[in-house]
Amino acid sequence: MKLYKQIFKDLGKDKFFLFSSIILAIIYVVASLYLPILAGDCVDLIVEKGNVNFEKIFQIFIIMGLLLVIAAIAQYLLNLCNNHLIYKYAASLRKRTFEKLERLPLKYLDSHPSGDILSRLSSDIEVVNDGLLIGMNQLFIGVFTIVMTLVFMFILNYIMAIVVVVLTPLSLFAARFIAKNINRYFYQQASYRGEQIAFIEEMMNNQKVVRAFNYEDKSEEDFSIITDKLEDATRKSSFFSALPNPVTRFVNALIYAVIILIGALLTIYNLGFSVGLLMTFLSFASKYATPFNDISSVITELENALTCLKRVYELLDEEDEVSDKGNKNLEAVEGNISLNDVSFSYDVNQKLIEHLSLNVKKGQKIALVGPTGCGKTTFINLLMRFYDVNKGSISVDGHNIKAITRDSLRRNYGMVLQDTYLRYGTIEENITMGDNFTHEQVVEAAKMSSCDHFISLLKDGYNTLIDENGGDFSQGQKQLIAICRVMLRLPPMLILDEATSSIDTRTEIKIQQAFNILMKNKTSFIVAHRLSTIKDADIILVMKDGNVIESGTHQDLLKKKGFYYELYNSQFVNEDS
């Protein structure tokens, strides 16, 4: 019921078409149900040979013709209204779901397969669109047909109407039992379909790794397991979805037979029941049964749509990232950063960063080193407020970053990651990322980041279209484009997370020279595994198990002969320190 209420709440936003659909459904049903009454009157006007009121029958035929025209027009307009409602609802659902995706905390995105999220945004909403369109075309007409048929039958003969009302629950109970099982298996089916899409996407995006490590057989085996689960859920849902139609048809046939028997007895014994009235009731019984048969015939599509809609609403009901509305913008940034007794963990049962305190002054270059999983990237996530600290606080120029808008905080950071992100569009669009920069500014930044050379060699230069995977560019070229974005913006604070990991040594020297110019008088955080790249850092923070265990300059740390000394010598065992 909660799901149905939500659907009609959303559909109710377009009140004109919703009310129009209801009114048109009533007009169609009343016109359709009045036809059997008129047909029964015609039969009663045929008493015997030579005793037929043709004039009255002709008048009734004219009225019946007008009613048929009215019913046809009403049904046509009803379908138009329903199409408008559902297509607009589906479009609104897609928009709301995508907007929700932009507001979800990174914790949700990191903990859910991208393929499953993609399935909810695309295929699930498409199933909702098709299923609800079929359901809406049956719903209003079906509900009003059932109600109005009972009203007409009570008016004409309450005994026969009571018989129908007593037998009706048999059909409803059968439909309810079957629907419960259908919903359960359709939800499993949708979940496994999302799991399958996630697996396919993962294998497609990593085919080089799959083939390099001969993972083909194992991936096929894993895919078969997922497919078997999907097949099992689909088979069970198909079995139960095939039951409603024959069950409801059997119950409705039973009602029809009982009406014939009782009506015939009332007519034979002349108990206020005529042949024409019997014919009218038989027609009403058929019309009364039609909505149950129609709904049962599309129950598969309808239940599948409701199940997929439930998955979409589950996404929409997720909590948004903590709002920073009302927070102040960070302006005129100098770059003084302070971490005060910061503690953070992704999982409450697994500690990561604990009681970390650090003061970074304007213009300092801070290097973060340590083994994999020690908390370097987590440290960056906290600085950028991709995650909020569990305890303690982080401040920029004395302002707690929780009191600052995320937009203004992140605009004051230039960030280059090891994993590059390129979207579909031109190279220049990938560099500007929607901001207003002139072509000359883009070219200048490209020259500083050493990517102007290979871009200029392309046929369309900076207007070359690339796909979201970077097209035929090498990993190093894609990373140079990502570095160019930062060069273009000249932010007061920089974060370089393995920014030159995919670049050859010669290009790396050029990039380091450009970075030295860029980092002048700017607070910089550098995450590096190659320790030769951070020798000139003002402070090197050596992290292990989420804690800073050593800090100082390169020479100071080497003299201590501690953990940093061991890391450095493991890379340069044959070089002088």
**CATH number, position 309:** 1.20.1560.10
What is the length of the chain?
Answer: 577
Q: Does a structural domain hold residue 48?
A: no
Q: Does a structural domain hold residue 565?
A: yes
Structure tokens at 323: 């709002």
User: Tens of pLDDT along 433-491?
Assistant: 888 889 999 999 888 888 888 899 888 899 988 876 666 787 778 888 888 888 888 88
Same-domain status, 373 and 231: no
- Average pLDDT, rounded, for the chain: 81
Report the range of poorest mean pLDDT among 133-137, 385-389, 406-410: 133-137
Same-domain status, 255 and 363: no
For residue 552, report the phi and psi dihedrals to the nearest 5 degrees.
Answer: 150, -175
For residue 517, report the phi and psi dihedrals to the nearest 5 degrees.
Answer: -70, -45
Spatial contact of 157 and 277, defined as CB atoms under 8 Å apart: yes
Antiparallel, parallel or unpaired: β 51-52 and 46-48? antiparallel
User: Tens of pLDDT along 517-558?
Assistant: 777 788 888 887 777 677 888 888 888 877 788 888 888 888
User: Tens of pLDDT along 340-396?
Assistant: 988 888 877 777 888 888 888 888 888 888 887 777 888 888 888 888 888 999 999
Same-domain status, 260 and 275: yes
Neighbours of 182 (CB within 10 A): 27
Same-domain status, 289 and 374: no
> With bands split at pLDDT 50, 70 and 90, how would you rate the model's confidence at 69?
very high
Q: What is the pLDDT of residue 463?
A: 92
Q: What is the pLDDT of residue 66?
A: 92
Last residue of a domain, one of 295, 316, 337: 316
Q: Percentage of residues in the chain with pLDDT exceeding 90?
A: 3
- Return the bridge partners of 493, or none: 413, 523
Q: Does a structural domain hold residue 74?
A: no
CA dihedral 153, 158, 164, 167 (to 10 degrees): 160
Same-domain status, 219 and 309: yes
State the number of CA atoms in the 13 A half-sphere of 342 facing the CB. 31
Q: What is the pLDDT of residue 474?
A: 79
Q: What is the pLDDT of residue 299?
A: 65
Query: Three-state SS string across 334-363, please?
Result: CCCEEEEEEEECCECCECCEEEEEEEECCC
Q: Which amino acid, residue 31?
A: A
Same-domain status, 396 and 526: yes
Q: What is the pLDDT of residue 180?
A: 65
3-class DSSP assignment, residue 151: helix
- The mean pLDDT value for 143-166 works out to 80
Same-domain status, 484 and 512: no
Q: What is the pLDDT of residue 529?
A: 73
DSSP 66-121: HHHHHHHHHHHHHHHHHHHHHHHHHHHHHHHHHHHHHHS-HHHHHHS-HHHHHHHH
Pairwise CA distance, residues 577 & 570, whole Å: 12
User: Tens of pLDDT along 234-253?
Assistant: 888 777 777 766 777 777 77
Compute the C-alpha angle 21/22/28, nearest 5°.
Answer: 85
Q: Does a structural domain hold residue 67?
A: no
Q: Does a structural domain hold residue 509?
A: yes
Q: Does a structural domain hold residue 557?
A: yes
Q: Is the pLDDT of residue 574 over 60?
A: no
List the one residue out of 182, 189, 194 whose CA is nearest residue 233: 189
- Return the bridge partners of 523, or none: 493
Quote the distance between the C-alpha of residue 92 and its chain's center: 12
Spatial contact of 329 and 405, defined as CB atoms under 8 Å apart: yes
Same-domain status, 402 and 522: yes
Burial of residue 423 (number of CB atoms within 10 Å: 0-12, 13-18, 19+): exposed
> With bands split at pLDDT 50, 70 and 90, how would you rate the model's confidence at 297?
low
Q: Which domain holds residue 447?
A: 423-490
Same-domain status, 273 and 391: no
Structure tokens at 65: 């013709």
Q: Which residue has the higher pLDDT, 87 or 111?
A: 87
- Return the bridge partners of 393, or none: 340
Q: Does a structural domain hold residue 61?
A: no
Pairwise CA distance, residues 236 & 222, whole Å: 22
- The mean pLDDT value for 57-63 works out to 86
Same-domain status, 396 and 452: no
Q: What is the pLDDT of residue 439?
A: 92
DSSP 373: T
> With bands split at pLDDT 50, 70 and 90, how would you rate the model's confidence at 576?
very low
Report the range of poorest mean pLDDT among 11-25, 95-109, 285-299, 416-430: 285-299
Overall number of domains in the chain: 3
Helix (H) or strand (E) holding 551: strand 547-552
Antiparallel, parallel or unpaired: β 51-52 and 337-344? unpaired
Spatial contact of 538 and 366, defined as CB atoms under 8 Å apart: yes
Last residue of a domain, one of 297, 316, 335: 316
> With bands split at pLDDT 50, 70 and 90, how would you rate the model's confidence at 259?
confident
> With bands split at pLDDT 50, 70 and 90, how would you rate the model's confidence at 577?
very low
3-class DSSP assignment, residue 396: strand
Q: Does a structural domain hold residue 23?
A: no
State the number of CA atoms in the 13 A half-sphere of 463 facing the CB. 2
Report the range of poorest mean pLDDT among 60-74, 105-119, 449-463: 105-119
Q: What is the pLDDT of residue 169?
A: 63
Last residue of a domain, one of 439, 473, 490: 490
Pairwise CA distance, residues 283 & 277, whole Å: 10
Helix (H) or strand (E) holding 400: strand 399-400
Compute the C-alpha angle 533/539/543, nearest 5°.
Answer: 85
Same-domain status, 354 and 448: no
Same-domain status, 432 and 451: yes
